[in-house]
Amino acid sequence: MYKKIVIPVILLFFVFHTKCLLFANENAEAKTEVETEATAEKETKAESDTAAVAETEVKTEVGTEAVAETESKAEASSEAVAETETKTEESKEAAAEKEVKAQESTAAVAETEVKSEEGTEAVAETENDVIATVNGEKIIRKDFDRRMNVIKRMNQDVTRATRLQVVNQLTNKVLLKQFVEGQNIDVSVEEVQGELEKIKYFLKSNPNNSEKSLEEVLETQGSNISELKDEIRRTLALSKYLDERVSDDEKNSYFEANKNVFNGEKAKASHILISTTGLKTDAELEEAKQKIEEVKKEIDNGADFAEMAKKYSTCPSAENGGDIGFFQRKGSLVEEFAEVAFSMEVGKISEPVKTQFGYHIIKVTDKEEGKDVSYEDVADMVDFVYMQIKTEDILKGLYEKAEIEITL
């Protein structure tokens, strides 16, 4: 069985990253000569003596002025020297200030580098935060974030319920890994590589992925080759485990009781959804339940179903009166919804149905009968579907015994 069903199971893996100034000093020198010549002649007139005296006084005044000028220049020279010294001191202070600023700048750069290193360490630490443990085995945030990024790229709303669903997927993965490891089932490298080559072939056959490598496709899914190989190994081991415990008679019996899963039968339905996504308290959940019951009463009292869907439903299909088109029994919709829809007759309206999305009222509007098929015609599909069912049974048992702690 495992050789037939590994590829479909693995393909589901894809459905589900800057001058100083110099001053010249001047030195002035002045000499004063005062000479008084007295040529006294006895016959010189008094006026000449007076003139000589006046001249002597003038010269004396000139000499005095010269001395004063010399002293003034000396004082000016001293002031220039003092000014030069002052500016030199200011220049030294400016240089010292620049040196201090340079040191401060170097310290600031060093501090920035330290903070950058601390930031990198903080990111690494966050990526390695434990968001859950399964029987002591850790699930880290990095794995969780990779899957959440895929959901965000698909423009899907990220709610508390969405986060818990991703944690649940990671928990299932760990539980199944622990289970198959405990069975000591041998899976060779050649078997894993063989399935990997088949997956590459299927991807190249798909027009949407023919120009992309397997690595590129895996990256869009938040995964990588190593993780895919681990997934293949676990799937092969689980397939071998089930192949030893599930008989053809058991699978045949399942086929006979669920032919509408394999014969192509389809149902068409409309629905009204009162979403419980994001609701946390019991009071909020109870309010949603009461709301769907009130809507059902209005319909029972004659209200048009399509108009009620447009008025109350939180599903995007509301604008079409709740119409979601045709779907098959398995793989299209959540099991709780599909099970009720396929059990109803055309035209009938269901009681409120609870799923992971909220409360639904379902109206089946059409059905397409399936064709006649035998077990041999659809044996591979029966193997695939039945493996899913048995895997879910195994997971239920593992959950009951597991010690799971979610710290997200």
Q: What is the pLDDT of residue 236?
A: 94
Nearest-Å Rg of the Cα atoms of the chain is 49
Question: 234 and 330, same structural domain?
Answer: no
Question: 171 and 283, same structural domain?
Answer: no
Q: What is the pLDDT of residue 37?
A: 39
Question: 330 and 224, same structural domain?
Answer: no
Please give the Cα distance from 235 to 215 (Å, whole number).
20
Provide the pLDDT confidence category of residue 206 given band limits of 50, 70 and 90.
Answer: confident
Element of type H or E holding 227: helix 225-243
Alpha helices in 36-159 (DSSP H): 46-127, 141-153
Please give the Cα distance from 213 to 217 (Å, whole number).
6
Summarised one tens digit per residue, pLDDT across range 390-407 is 999 999 999 999 999 988
| CA distance readout (Å), 42 to 37, 38, 48, 49, 52 | 15, 12, 12, 11, 15
**Buried (b) or exposed (e) across 195-233, using 16+ Cβ within 10 A?**
bbeebeeebeeeeebeeeebeebbeebbbeeebbeebbb
Question: 364 and 250, same structural domain?
Answer: no
Count Cα atoms within 13 angstroms, Cβ side, for 76: 11
Summarised one tens digit per residue, pLDDT across range 376-387 is 999 999 998 999
- Return the percentage of the chain with pLDDT > 70, whole number: 68
Q: Would you say residue 70 has pLDDT above 50?
A: no
Q: How far apart are the first and last CA of the chain?
A: 38
Is the residue at 349 inside a domain?
yes
Of 22, 21, 48, which Cα lies nearest the Cα of 37?
48
Please give the Cα distance from 395 to 401 (Å, whole number).
10
Q: What is the pLDDT of residue 230?
A: 92
Question: 346 and 236, same structural domain?
Answer: no
Q: Say whether 16 sits in a helix, a strand or coil.
A: coil
Identify the weakest region by mean pLDDT among 63-72, 204-213, 385-394. 63-72
Q: What is the pLDDT of residue 22?
A: 29
Summarised one tens digit per residue, pLDDT across range 347-361 is 999 999 999 889 999
Is the residue at 19 inside a domain?
no
Taking the CA atoms of 76, 79, 85 and 88 in sequence, report the sign of the dihedral they define.
negative
Question: 217 and 141, same structural domain?
Answer: yes
Summarised one tens digit per residue, pLDDT across range 40-67 is 343 443 344 433 333 434 343 434 443 3
| Average pLDDT taken over every residue of the chain | 77
Provide the pLDDT confidence category of residue 154 given band limits of 50, 70 and 90.
Answer: confident
Summarised one tens digit per residue, pLDDT across range 81-126 is 345 455 545 555 655 565 656 566 555 555 655 555 555 444 455 7
Please give the DSSP secondary-structure letter assigned to residue 372: P
Tell me which range, 141-145, 188-192, 258-262, is most confidently predicted by mean pLDDT: 188-192
Residue-level length of the chain? 408
CATH number at residue 202: 1.10.4030.10
Is the residue at 273 inside a domain?
yes
Contact criterion met (CB below 8 Å) for 296 and 351:
yes
Contact criterion met (CB below 8 Å) for 236 and 2:
yes
| CA distance readout (Å), 296 to 267, 285, 343, 363 | 22, 17, 19, 11
Is the residue at 63 inside a domain?
no
For the chain, the domain total comes to 2
Helices (H) and strands (E) in the chain, counts: 13, 7
Question: 308 and 250, same structural domain?
Answer: no
Is the residue at 175 inside a domain?
yes
CATH number at residue 348: 3.10.50.40
Question: 270 and 226, same structural domain?
Answer: no
Question: 138 and 8, same structural domain?
Answer: yes
Please give the Cα distance from 389 to 403 (Å, whole number).
23
Range of the domain at 188: 2-13+129-255+395-406
| Residue 35 CB contacts under 8 Å (≥ 6 apart), including other chains | 59
Please give the Cα distance from 335 to 353 (Å, whole number).
11
Is the residue at 328 inside a domain?
yes
Question: 273 and 165, same structural domain?
Answer: no
